Amino acid sequence: MSTNISPSAVWPAVRVRGTLAVITGRGERAAVYERFGRRLSADGYTVGVFEADADAAGAWLDTVDAPRVLVGSDSGAASVLRVLAQGATADAAIIAGTPIDAEGDAVTAQPTDAERTACPLHLGVLGTDEARTAPVAVEPVPASADLAAVAVPVLAFHGSADRVSPITETASLLSAVPDLELVETIDGLHDALNDVSHRSVAASIVLWLERLRGGDVHTPVLRALRQVQGADRHEPADA
């Protein structure tokens, strides 16, 4: 385990409702998650980013406010699943773009920026020296028997147009996780946390975190009582 458990970057919440420890993916630095960190911290969740060090992230969570959530994208998602299967202390996890390698070999080439996102702002971030490192091998996702040992709820996001990790294969592998909510980002690419739907993804995360704070991610906080469609939308109140 790493002896340094300080995050590479942290976005503190003023009134803390919980803590997220983000593990970066292949070749990513903490700057990749600045927008994500600022947005979640504005809703009361402190966000710390660890550069490819899931062990340090787990150790840091032991020192911060609950609920404590591990977050990972790409290889970071595989790292999150590994430490959870090994019994890491966390209340829940959020993963995105879980890596799948059909041949079972280590992947060293990073996804191209165009494969990662269609968001112009995020493309600009990825083009900076502060955001990227040299290519590294992807950490493999644990085997199904190990995933079955994950004892906390997991919220997973995956783009329907992800060519790096096709969603069908990813969904099949993640089905071994006992308590899994898999959310498809429609026409989304690999960086589901930072793609064009990043606002909707962040909003979904906040709703899920609020349910987690309530003690059960499966118990809704909000409920739609009536959905108005078509001509009914314009009916007067006394019709």
Query: Is 113 within the bounds of a domain?
Result: yes
CA atoms of 204 and 25, how far apart (whole Å): 21
Query: Is 1 within the bounds of a domain?
Result: no
Query: Is 93 within the bounds of a domain?
Result: yes
pLDDT digits (tens, 9 = 90+) for 174-221: 999 999 999 999 999 999 999 999 999 999 999 999 999 999 999 999
Tell me the backbone φ, ψ of residue 216, rounded to 5 degrees: -155, 110
DSSP assigned state of 11: E
Instruction: Using DSSP bridges, classify how beta strands 154-159 and 68-73 pair: parallel, antiparallel or unpaired.
Output: unpaired
Query: Is 135 within the bounds of a domain?
Result: yes
Query: Is 3 within the bounds of a domain?
Result: no
pLDDT at 105: 45
38-52, 84-98, 103-117, 136-150 — which is least confidently predicted?
Answer: 103-117
Range of the domain at 136: 9-234
Cβ within 8 Å of residue 26, ≥6 positions away? 74, 75, 99, 107, 110, 111, 135, 136, 138
Query: What tokens appear for 75 in the block?
Result: 């290889």
Of 232 and 216, the structure prediction assigns the larger pLDDT to 216
pLDDT digits (tens, 9 = 90+) for 61-74: 999 999 999 999 99
pLDDT at 227: 76
Do residues 128 and 154 make contact, with C-beta atoms less than 8 angstroms apart? no
Q: What's the pTM value of the predicted model, to 2 decimals?
A: 0.91
Total number of domains in the chain: 1
Query: Is 230 within the bounds of a domain?
Result: yes
Query: Is 239 within the bounds of a domain?
Result: no
Residue 225: strand, helix, or coil:
coil
Query: Is 24 within the bounds of a domain?
Result: yes
Any idea what the CATH number is for the domain that residue 93 is in? 3.40.50.1820
